[in-house]
Structure 1
Protein backbone atom coordinates (compact mmCIF):
# COMPACT_ATOMS: atom_id res chain seq x y z
CA UNK A 1 0.00 0.00 0.00
CA UNK A 2 1.46 3.35 -1.01
CA UNK A 3 0.77 6.51 0.89
CA UNK A 4 -0.12 9.69 -0.98
CA UNK A 5 2.58 12.33 -0.75
CA UNK A 6 1.31 15.86 -0.18
CA UNK A 7 2.78 19.12 -1.43
CA UNK A 8 3.53 22.11 0.77
CA UNK A 9 0.76 23.96 -1.04
CA UNK A 10 -1.81 21.29 -0.16
CA UNK A 11 -0.75 21.37 3.48
CA UNK A 12 -0.93 25.18 3.61
CA UNK A 13 -4.41 25.00 2.07
CA UNK A 14 -5.54 22.60 4.81
CA UNK A 15 -3.94 24.87 7.42
CA UNK A 16 -6.03 27.76 6.07
CA UNK A 17 -9.14 25.58 6.42
CA UNK A 18 -8.25 24.85 10.04
CA UNK A 19 -7.55 28.55 10.65
CA UNK A 20 -10.98 29.38 9.25
CA UNK A 21 -12.53 26.79 11.57
CA UNK A 22 -10.69 28.20 14.60
CA UNK A 23 -11.67 31.77 13.67
CA UNK A 24 -15.29 30.63 13.77
CA UNK A 25 -15.35 29.01 17.22
CA UNK A 26 -17.19 30.12 20.35
CA UNK A 27 -13.86 31.07 21.93
CA UNK A 28 -12.89 33.46 19.13
CA UNK A 29 -16.41 34.86 18.92
CA UNK A 30 -16.35 35.63 22.65
CA UNK A 31 -12.87 37.15 22.29
CA UNK A 32 -14.07 39.51 19.52
CA UNK A 33 -17.11 40.58 21.56
CA UNK A 34 -15.03 41.18 24.69
CA UNK A 35 -12.50 43.24 22.71
CA UNK A 36 -15.30 45.33 21.18
CA UNK A 37 -16.76 45.97 24.64
CA UNK A 38 -13.38 47.12 25.91
CA UNK A 39 -12.92 49.43 22.92
CA UNK A 40 -16.41 50.87 23.47
CA UNK A 41 -15.80 51.49 27.18
CA UNK A 42 -15.11 55.17 27.85
CA UNK A 43 -13.49 54.49 31.25
CA UNK A 44 -11.03 52.00 29.73
CA UNK A 45 -10.22 54.33 26.82
CA UNK A 46 -9.45 57.16 29.25
CA UNK A 47 -7.28 54.92 31.42
CA UNK A 48 -5.36 53.67 28.38
CA UNK A 49 -4.81 57.25 27.21
CA UNK A 50 -3.47 58.13 30.68
CA UNK A 51 -1.21 55.09 30.58
CA UNK A 52 0.26 56.10 27.23
CA UNK A 53 0.97 59.61 28.49
CA UNK A 54 2.59 58.30 31.67
CA UNK A 55 4.66 55.79 29.70
CA UNK A 56 6.02 58.59 27.51
CA UNK A 57 6.88 60.59 30.63
CA UNK A 58 8.60 57.52 32.11
CA UNK A 59 10.76 57.17 28.99
CA UNK A 60 11.70 60.87 29.20
CA UNK A 61 12.52 60.70 32.93
CA UNK A 62 14.57 57.56 32.37
CA UNK A 63 16.45 59.25 29.50
CA UNK A 64 17.13 62.29 31.69
CA UNK A 65 18.20 60.13 34.64
CA UNK A 66 15.49 61.48 36.95
CA UNK A 67 15.15 58.40 39.15
CA UNK A 68 12.69 59.81 41.76
CA UNK A 69 10.32 61.19 39.14
CA UNK A 70 10.58 57.91 37.21
CA UNK A 71 9.68 55.92 40.33
CA UNK A 72 6.59 58.09 40.94
CA UNK A 73 5.46 57.69 37.32
CA UNK A 74 6.01 53.93 37.45
CA UNK A 75 3.84 53.74 40.59
CA UNK A 76 1.07 55.68 38.82
CA UNK A 77 1.35 53.36 35.80
CA UNK A 78 1.07 50.30 38.05
CA UNK A 79 -2.01 51.76 39.79
CA UNK A 80 -3.79 52.42 36.48
CA UNK A 81 -2.88 48.98 35.13
CA UNK A 82 -4.34 47.47 38.31
CA UNK A 83 -7.56 49.51 37.90
CA UNK A 84 -7.90 48.29 34.32
CA UNK A 85 -7.13 44.66 35.23
CA UNK A 86 -9.76 44.65 37.98
CA UNK A 87 -12.59 45.46 35.56
CA UNK A 88 -14.79 42.42 34.88
CA UNK A 89 -14.81 43.21 31.16
CA UNK A 90 -11.00 43.13 31.06
CA UNK A 91 -10.90 39.90 33.07
CA UNK A 92 -13.35 38.35 30.59
CA UNK A 93 -11.19 39.55 27.70
CA UNK A 94 -8.05 38.06 29.24
CA UNK A 95 -9.88 34.79 29.90
CA UNK A 96 -11.04 34.65 26.28
CA UNK A 97 -7.49 35.40 25.12
CA UNK A 98 -6.26 32.53 27.28
CA UNK A 99 -8.88 30.15 25.84
CA UNK A 100 -8.06 31.07 22.23
CA UNK A 101 -4.33 30.58 22.92
CA UNK A 102 -5.11 27.20 24.52
CA UNK A 103 -7.07 26.15 21.45
CA UNK A 104 -4.17 27.14 19.17
CA UNK A 105 -1.72 25.25 21.40
CA UNK A 106 -4.01 22.21 21.38
CA UNK A 107 -4.11 22.19 17.57
CA UNK A 108 -0.36 22.70 17.34
CA UNK A 109 0.35 19.85 19.76
CA UNK A 110 -2.15 17.55 18.02
CA UNK A 111 -0.41 18.14 14.69
CA UNK A 112 3.09 17.63 16.12
CA UNK A 113 2.11 14.46 18.00
CA UNK A 114 0.25 13.02 15.03
CA UNK A 115 3.17 13.64 12.67
CA UNK A 116 5.57 11.99 15.13
CA UNK A 117 3.28 8.97 15.61
CA UNK A 118 2.76 8.56 11.86
CA UNK A 119 6.52 8.67 11.19
CA UNK A 120 7.10 6.05 13.90
CA UNK A 121 4.28 3.80 12.65
CA UNK A 122 5.22 4.13 8.98
CA UNK A 123 8.77 2.98 9.75
CA UNK A 124 7.58 0.01 11.81
CA UNK A 125 8.66 1.64 15.05
CA UNK A 126 7.29 1.59 18.58
CA UNK A 127 4.97 4.52 19.36
CA UNK A 128 4.98 3.74 23.09
CA UNK A 129 8.79 4.00 23.20
CA UNK A 130 8.83 6.86 20.71
CA UNK A 131 11.31 5.04 18.50
CA UNK A 132 11.29 4.79 14.71
CA UNK A 133 11.68 1.44 12.99
CA UNK A 134 15.34 2.05 12.15
CA UNK A 135 16.14 2.74 15.80
CA UNK A 136 14.26 -0.36 16.94
CA UNK A 137 16.08 -2.52 14.35
CA UNK A 138 19.49 -1.08 15.19
CA UNK A 139 19.06 -1.54 18.94
CA UNK A 140 18.42 -5.29 18.72
CA UNK A 141 21.25 -7.75 19.42
CA UNK A 142 22.99 -9.06 16.34
CA UNK A 143 22.10 -6.05 14.18
CA UNK A 144 24.78 -4.38 12.11
CA UNK A 145 25.77 -0.94 13.27
Structure 2
Protein backbone atom coordinates (compact mmCIF):
# COMPACT_ATOMS: atom_id res chain seq x y z
CA UNK A 1 0.00 0.00 0.00
CA UNK A 2 1.44 3.36 -1.05
CA UNK A 3 2.23 5.95 1.58
CA UNK A 4 1.85 9.62 0.74
CA UNK A 5 3.33 12.61 2.47
CA UNK A 6 1.32 15.62 3.49
CA UNK A 7 3.17 17.60 0.82
CA UNK A 8 2.16 15.11 -1.89
CA UNK A 9 -1.46 15.30 -0.82
CA UNK A 10 -1.34 19.12 -0.87
CA UNK A 11 0.24 19.00 -4.34
CA UNK A 12 -2.49 16.68 -5.63
CA UNK A 13 -5.13 18.90 -4.02
CA UNK A 14 -3.69 21.92 -5.82
CA UNK A 15 -3.82 19.96 -9.09
CA UNK A 16 -7.48 19.13 -8.43
CA UNK A 17 -8.22 22.78 -7.67
CA UNK A 18 -6.64 23.79 -11.00
CA UNK A 19 -8.70 21.15 -12.80
CA UNK A 20 -11.89 22.50 -11.24
CA UNK A 21 -10.86 26.07 -12.08
CA UNK A 22 -10.47 25.06 -15.72
CA UNK A 23 -13.95 23.56 -16.10
CA UNK A 24 -16.56 25.12 -18.36
CA UNK A 25 -18.79 25.72 -15.33
CA UNK A 26 -16.19 27.78 -13.47
CA UNK A 27 -15.21 29.68 -16.61
CA UNK A 28 -18.89 30.56 -17.23
CA UNK A 29 -19.25 31.64 -13.59
CA UNK A 30 -16.20 33.90 -13.87
CA UNK A 31 -17.46 35.47 -17.12
CA UNK A 32 -20.89 36.08 -15.60
CA UNK A 33 -19.34 37.62 -12.49
CA UNK A 34 -17.21 39.93 -14.65
CA UNK A 35 -20.26 40.99 -16.68
CA UNK A 36 -22.18 41.76 -13.49
CA UNK A 37 -19.31 43.81 -12.12
CA UNK A 38 -19.22 45.81 -15.36
CA UNK A 39 -22.99 46.28 -15.58
CA UNK A 40 -23.87 49.89 -14.78
CA UNK A 41 -27.50 49.13 -13.87
CA UNK A 42 -26.40 46.53 -11.32
CA UNK A 43 -23.74 48.86 -9.91
CA UNK A 44 -26.24 51.72 -9.61
CA UNK A 45 -28.75 49.53 -7.79
CA UNK A 46 -26.08 48.19 -5.45
CA UNK A 47 -24.97 51.74 -4.63
CA UNK A 48 -28.59 52.66 -3.90
CA UNK A 49 -28.99 49.61 -1.67
CA UNK A 50 -25.84 50.47 0.30
CA UNK A 51 -27.06 54.04 0.80
CA UNK A 52 -30.46 52.80 1.97
CA UNK A 53 -28.84 50.25 4.29
CA UNK A 54 -26.93 53.05 6.01
CA UNK A 55 -30.18 54.98 6.36
CA UNK A 56 -31.85 51.89 7.79
CA UNK A 57 -29.16 51.54 10.45
CA UNK A 58 -29.66 55.18 11.48
CA UNK A 59 -33.43 54.85 11.45
CA UNK A 60 -33.23 51.74 13.61
CA UNK A 61 -30.85 53.47 16.00
CA UNK A 62 -33.28 56.37 16.45
CA UNK A 63 -36.31 54.09 16.70
CA UNK A 64 -38.02 55.38 13.54
CA UNK A 65 -39.87 52.12 12.88
CA UNK A 66 -42.26 53.33 10.15
CA UNK A 67 -39.45 54.98 8.17
CA UNK A 68 -37.28 51.89 8.72
CA UNK A 69 -39.97 49.61 7.24
CA UNK A 70 -40.34 51.93 4.24
CA UNK A 71 -36.56 51.93 3.70
CA UNK A 72 -36.39 48.15 4.00
CA UNK A 73 -39.18 47.85 1.41
CA UNK A 74 -37.15 50.05 -0.96
CA UNK A 75 -34.10 47.84 -0.39
CA UNK A 76 -36.17 44.71 -1.10
CA UNK A 77 -37.56 46.25 -4.30
CA UNK A 78 -34.09 47.17 -5.54
CA UNK A 79 -32.78 43.69 -4.68
CA UNK A 80 -35.69 42.12 -6.56
CA UNK A 81 -34.95 44.34 -9.55
CA UNK A 82 -31.33 43.17 -9.53
CA UNK A 83 -32.31 39.52 -9.11
CA UNK A 84 -34.67 39.70 -12.10
CA UNK A 85 -31.94 40.80 -14.51
CA UNK A 86 -31.03 37.91 -16.85
CA UNK A 87 -27.32 38.37 -16.23
CA UNK A 88 -27.85 38.04 -12.47
CA UNK A 89 -30.07 34.97 -12.75
CA UNK A 90 -27.47 33.34 -15.05
CA UNK A 91 -24.76 34.19 -12.53
CA UNK A 92 -26.75 32.71 -9.63
CA UNK A 93 -27.47 29.58 -11.65
CA UNK A 94 -23.79 29.14 -12.51
CA UNK A 95 -22.88 29.80 -8.88
CA UNK A 96 -25.21 26.97 -7.85
CA UNK A 97 -23.68 24.62 -10.41
CA UNK A 98 -20.14 25.40 -9.22
CA UNK A 99 -21.18 24.99 -5.57
CA UNK A 100 -22.81 21.64 -6.38
CA UNK A 101 -19.62 20.50 -8.11
CA UNK A 102 -17.49 21.52 -5.12
CA UNK A 103 -19.85 19.75 -2.72
CA UNK A 104 -19.73 16.64 -4.88
CA UNK A 105 -15.91 16.66 -4.83
CA UNK A 106 -15.85 17.20 -1.07
CA UNK A 107 -18.40 14.43 -0.48
CA UNK A 108 -16.55 12.02 -2.76
CA UNK A 109 -13.24 12.66 -0.99
CA UNK A 110 -14.85 12.30 2.42
CA UNK A 111 -16.67 9.09 1.53
CA UNK A 112 -13.61 7.59 -0.14
CA UNK A 113 -11.38 8.35 2.84
CA UNK A 114 -13.98 6.92 5.23
CA UNK A 115 -14.37 3.77 3.12
CA UNK A 116 -10.61 3.30 2.89
CA UNK A 117 -10.17 3.76 6.65
CA UNK A 118 -12.96 1.29 7.44
CA UNK A 119 -11.55 -1.18 4.92
CA UNK A 120 -8.11 -0.85 6.49
CA UNK A 121 -9.54 -1.46 9.96
CA UNK A 122 -11.42 -4.56 8.73
CA UNK A 123 -8.25 -5.94 7.10
CA UNK A 124 -6.31 -5.47 10.35
CA UNK A 125 -9.03 -7.31 12.28
CA UNK A 126 -8.79 -10.23 9.86
CA UNK A 127 -5.02 -10.52 10.28
TM-score, normalising length: structure 2? 0.93
Q: Equivalent residue for 1:46?
A: 44
Q: Equivalent residue for 1:129?
A: none
Q: Equivalent residue for 2:12?
A: 14
**In 2, Cα distance between the equivalents of 1:60 and 1:23?**
42
The partner residue of 2:75 within 58, 74, 77 is 77
Gap regions ≥5 residues in structure 1? 126-132, 138-145
TM-score, normalising length: structure 1? 0.82
Q: CA RMSD in A?
A: 1.4
1:124 deviation in Å? Answer: 2.7
Gap regions ≥5 residues in structure 2? none
1:4 deviation in Å? Answer: 2.1
1:117 deviation in Å? Answer: 1.1
1:124 aligns to what SS in structure 2? helix
Identify, as 1 or 2, the structure richer in helix.
Answer: 2
**In 1, Cα distance between the equivalents of 2:91 and 2:38?**
13
- Runs of 4+ aligned residues of structure 1 deviating over 3 Å after TM superposition are none
Larger Rg: 1
**In 1, Cα distance between the equivalents of 2:62 and 2:33?**
36
For this pair of structures, how many residues does the alignment match?
126
Structure with the greater relative contact order (CA < 8 A, sep ≥ 6): 1 or 2?
2
Deviation sequence 1:70-101 (CA, Å, 0-9, x none): 11100000000000001111000000100110
